Amino acid sequence: MAVGVLSGQKKSTKTDAQIVQAVIDESIAKYKGSCPCPYNKDRAGRNCGARSAYSKPGGAAPLCYAKDVTSKMIEEYRKNTR
């Protein structure tokens, strides 16, 4: 039996890539508008592009790409999802 199982802790089995996607998904879900990221579409079905919150300095700053997720964020995700 694994040590984590004996101590009552469940170890996350997600890969870093899966965690990165989960962090991005959570960030986008928290955004209130329809254009969090450049690759999203607005309510009318148009590409958001430069109109996205991600593309505008200041204000909301959703995480849209893997490069936006730091190793510290990955560690925190693992720590908080045990």
Residue 7 predicted with pLDDT over 50: no
Give domain status of residue 47, yes or no: yes
Beta bridge mates, 47:
41
CA atoms within 13 A on the CB side of 6: 3
Q: How far apart are CA 67 and CA 52, in angstroms?
A: 17
DSSP class of residue 64 equals -
Q: What is the pTM of this model?
A: 0.80
Q: Which domain holds residue 52?
A: 34-65
**pLDDT tens by residue, 11-43:** 558 999 999 999 999 999 999 999 999 999 999
pLDDT tens-place string over residues 40-57:
999 999 999 999 999 999
Domain-embedded: residue 29: no
How many distinct structural domains can be found in the chain? 1
| Residue 52 counted as domain residue | yes
Q: For residue 69, what pLDDT band results from cuts at 50, 70 and 90?
A: very high
Query: What would the mean pLDDT of 72-79 be, rounded to a whole number?
Result: 96
